[in-house]
Amino acid sequence: MDDDDNPKRRHRAIPSSRAARLGAFGRLAGGVASGMLGEGARRLARGERPRMRDLVLTPGNVGRLADRLSHLRGAAMKLGQMISMDAGDLLPPELAAILAQLRSQAHRMPPEQLRRVLDSEWGPDWRRRFSRFNATPIAAASIGQVHRATLPGGRELAIKVQYPGVRESIDSDVDNVATLLRVSGVLPRELDLAPLLTEAKRQLHEEADYEREATQMTRFADWLDGHADYVVPRPLPELTTARVLAMDFIDGIPVEALADAPQEQRDAAMRDLMALVLCEMFEFGAMQTDPNFANYRFQPDTGRLVLLDFGAARDVDPATAQGYRSLLSAGLSGDRDAVREAAQAAGFLGEAAVARHRPLVDRMIDIVVTEMNRPGPFDFGDRGFVEVLREQGMEMADDRSTWHIPPVETLFVQRKVSGTALLAARLEARVDVRELVRPYLEEGAG
């Protein structure tokens, strides 16, 4: 191991025992409560009658939440990242802004903690397997951090090392974060989250199994082998364990860096990503469902997208794919009634929402159908209609009796669809989505 770690980088030991993690949540709850009391006293002194949510979501409390989740890493931080990406437009601005920081937090394991993990997984003489192992992580995420290494034969590897205690703490972390969200008032108490939390725990356990991820990575590498637009690293089985994943190192720049690229290059990259999403859903029958931007890199010299992180890869239920096919077909036909029926059948719309807010639902459908059927490429940088949909959606959401959770299988696929659209908006890309979709609709109709 090369001890060339930059002392300016942030090292912070990851709490690995259940007791330590529970204590961290306890300190967070205590800090939030203290902040609430102080803020409540200040507002009462000004003659105000503050709401509970206003007391919880003070900048100080939200900062405590982000800092503590970034320290805990694992499922706690993963859920914070998911919330910030998936529901950012719906969350209170203070919470959305701070949770978004979790996608760039960079606390790393101290070198000694890293050595203990690798000694446990590879044995104490593991250094002999490499001509070079860089102690400085090239990436740090919610479940693990990535190091660059070189084998004696010259093969360059990326080594993903899981933070200690992550797998053992998943269930309790998910429950604790759900409790924090309930207390914050972001989620209504009437909403039954049990099925979603159960599925979240299951997927996080799968993501924490690096041997499973290696298998999924190999599947996608085989499917895309030799493809002109994508490249997938191959795992190295002899160095891969349940907590360490060794794979080819493939160079590339962050996909967000394309924001400064020419319009044609941004459009081409997003067209390729959207084509991949459709291919995953309708051809492979399997999808990498985590849309985090860090899971994509771009190679300027080849124009190819580097696909990373297959921990969230899962098979797509044929019924889910058919639901999307029906919804897309209805949307492109411009048939409002067909869209509403397809959205209900797929589970996006609940019966209560349609029964109680039919005019509002139909107005929202009209907006979406109009945008889908505009001639030429869709301009993802033009987000004016999104704000209109948000306002109408929040109007309907005020009626808590209509709150509805879509089927879990649909939710995970929609994460990828929504995340891809969010990246397209970030890059202000223009893509003829209809032309990408049509072949799959014709295939389904046949």
**Which structural domain, as residue segments, surrounds residue 80?**
18-105+169-187
Examine the domain organization and report whether 60 and 148 are in the same domain.
no
Residue 280: the pLDDT is 98
353's CB contacts (< 8 A; 6+ apart) are 361, 396, 402, 404
Residue 379 φ then ψ, to 5°: -90, 100
pLDDT confidence tier of residue 85, bands split at 50, 70 and 90: very low
Examine the domain organization and report whether 130 and 265 are in the same domain.
no
Mean pLDDT for all residues in the chain: 79
Could you write out the DSSP letters of every residue in 249-312? ----EEGGGGGGS-HHHHHHHHHHHHHHHHHIIIIISEEE----GGGEEEETTTTEEEE---TT
User: Mind listing the pLDDT tens digit for each residue in 245-273?
Assistant: 999 999 999 999 999 999 999 999 999 99
Examine the domain organization and report whether 135 and 278 are in the same domain.
no
Examine the domain organization and report whether 101 and 45 are in the same domain.
yes
Does 3 fall in a domain? no
Examine the domain organization and report whether 308 and 443 are in the same domain.
yes
Average pLDDT of the residues in 396-421: 81
Q: Which two tokens stand for residue 124?
A: 């104490």
Q: Which two tokens stand for residue 392?
A: 């109408």
Q: Which residue has the higher pLDDT, 213 or 96?
A: 213
Examine the domain organization and report whether 270 and 380 are in the same domain.
yes
Residue 140: the pLDDT is 80
Q: Over the Cα atoms of the chain, what is R_g? A: 23
Does 5 fall in a domain? no
Which of 110-119, 181-190, 371-380, 398-407 is predicted with the least confidence, judged by mean pLDDT?
Answer: 181-190
Concerning whether 398 is annotated as a catalytic residue, the answer is no
Does 198 fall in a domain? no
Query: Is residue 47 classed as helix, strand or coil in its secondary structure?
Result: coil
Examine the domain organization and report whether 57 and 116 are in the same domain.
no
Examine the domain organization and report whether 413 and 280 are in the same domain.
yes
Q: Of 233, 250, 267, which residue is a domain's last?
A: 250
Examine the domain organization and report whether 179 and 304 are in the same domain.
no
Residue 265: the pLDDT is 97
Closest CA to 217 of 295, 292, 161, 283: 295
172's CB contacts (< 8 A; 6+ apart) are 18, 21, 22
Instruction: Please say if the pLDDT value at position 58 is more than 80.
Output: no
pLDDT confidence tier of residue 59, bands split at 50, 70 and 90: low
Between helix 166-184 and helix 74-86 the angle, nearest 10°, is: 50
Instruction: Please say if the pLDDT value at position 78 is more than 80.
Output: no
User: Mind listing the pLDDT tens digit for each residue in 286-335?
Assistant: 999 988 888 999 999 999 999 999 999 999 999 999 999 999 999 999 99
Does 192 fall in a domain? no
User: Mind listing the pLDDT tens digit for each residue in 163-184?
Assistant: 888 888 888 878 877 776 666 5
Instruction: Please say if the pLDDT value at position 107 is more than 70.
Output: no
Q: How many CB atoms lie within 10 A of CB 446?
A: 5
Query: Catalytic one among 173, 209, 267, 290?
Result: 290
Does 229 fall in a domain? yes
Residue 285, by phi and psi: left (phi above 0), alpha (psi -120 to 50) or beta?
Answer: left
Tally of domains in the chain: 3
Parallel/antiparallel/unpaired status of strands 139-140 and 156-162: unpaired
Q: What pTM was computed for the model?
A: 0.78
Examine the domain organization and report whether 417 and 284 are in the same domain.
yes
pLDDT confidence tier of residue 420, bands split at 50, 70 and 90: very high
Does 197 fall in a domain? no
Does 308 fall in a domain? yes
- Domain of residue 227, CATH code: 3.30.200
Parallel/antiparallel/unpaired status of strands 253-254 and 296-299: antiparallel
Does 398 fall in a domain? yes
Examine the domain organization and report whether 374 and 304 are in the same domain.
yes
Q: Of 201, 225, 250, which residue is a domain's last?
A: 250
Examine the domain organization and report whether 78 and 101 are in the same domain.
yes
